[in-house]
Amino acid sequence: MIQEIGPELFLIEVPLPNSPLKYLNSYVVRDTDRTLVIDTGLNRKVCLEALQGGLQNLGVDPARTDFFITHLHADHFGLVSKLATPTSRVYFNRPDAELIEAKGWWGPMLAAAGRHGFPAQELRNAIEQHPGYKFGSEWVPELSLLKDGDAIEVGDYHFRCVHTPGHSMGHTCLYEESKKLFVAGDHILIDITPNIQCWADDQNPLDDYMHSLDRVHALEMTLVLPGHRRLIEDARSRIAELKNHHEQRCAEILNILDGRDLTAYNVASHMHWDIKCDSWEQFPIAQKWFATGEAIAHLRYLEERGAVRRRSGDKQSVFGLV
């Protein structure tokens, strides 16, 4: 489906089969000189056909098309290698680019998951069922790295990069001040909450995310273009809801930990999730992975605030109330 949002600004829905996200919003800013495509989809045939078909319907010339990718997750980055031509520029952020260049990052994530209680016998299956592992980019085209405050101009649109770490270390949005448009990637979503995961003990992505929400709250926005689901007209109310959601999550975890020490995996198994399963054991393995990563992020946030403390043994870490 193609939706016209504004003058020469379009949304192409890219299906994400078997994903609770349902589809990716790929935005097209069309111009006779250079067209800009924002985010692409998983490296899957169904995604490629949907996006290529949409671009053809819009009369976009692949040789005169550039790309802006908000962050490294495969549902946004995975398809760019199939779409970029030798004349395309692929705009990206440095923190996520460094992760991609480092390679081998699945290994440290596996080790962290095991340390936080994810069952050893399920670890390899969890990675193999991860959409980022299954449907990532086959190769990485040359990237044009942008930083916070850098500009991208396409026709009558003058975008400014806004670094919003949290969902990923380098997650970057685009803000069009004169039109009060905010291209949000996975920073702000309307009826689902962005997944904030943590797989490193020296990071605090939920704290980063909360500060990023505060920063975006200060912008004048009449329309937010998110990476999934519906467009958002009242951004500030949604930001308040997202902040409240995470504070409620923290309160839920404190209640779960009352009187006992648990691994992050066990904490996740007691949290409420909007998934149609009767028990934690019935959760799809990929959803257990995302849930555990989110539990770790909240525990790290609470740890830094002095509300919980960690005890690390030879093989696993457990958390309890202070």
Residue 90: per-residue pLDDT: 98
pLDDT of residue 320: 98
In a domain, 88, yes or no: yes
- Per the CB < 8 A criterion, the answer to whether 114 and 123 are in contact is yes
Check residue 104 and give its pLDDT.
66
Residue 27: inside a domain: yes
Residue 80 within a domain: yes
Residue 214: CB atoms within 10 A of its CB come to 11
DSSP 221-284: -SEEEESSSS-BS-HHHHHHHHHHHHHHHHHHHHHHHTT--B-HHHHHHHS---SS-SSGGGS-
Q: Could you tell me if residue 172 is inside a domain?
A: yes
For position 273, what pLDDT does the model report?
A: 95
**CATH number for position 163:** 3.60.15.10
Report pLDDT for 132: 81
Q: Looking at the domain assignment, is residue 286 inside a domain?
A: no
Domain enclosing residue 204, as ranges: 2-254
Q: For the chain, which ranges sit under pLDDT 50?
A: none
Q: With respect to residue 272, please indicate whether it lies within any of the assigned structural domains.
A: no
User: Rounded CA gap, 225 and 24, in Å?
Assistant: 11
> Domain tally for the chain?
1
- Give the pTM: 0.96
> Is the Cβ–Cβ distance between 142 and 90 less than 8 Å?
yes
Distances (CA, A) of 160 to 33, 173, 243: 19, 8, 24
Q: Is residue 201 part of a domain?
A: yes
Give the model confidence (pLDDT) of 57-77 as tens digits.
Answer: 999 999 999 999 999 999 999
Q: How far apart are CA 1 and CA 126, in angstroms?
A: 32
pLDDT digits (tens, 9 = 90+) for 253-279: 999 999 999 999 999 999 999 988 999
Inside any domain, residue 290: no
The pairing of strands 35-38 and 65-68 is: parallel
The total of other beta-carbon atoms located within 10 Å of residue 11's CB is 18
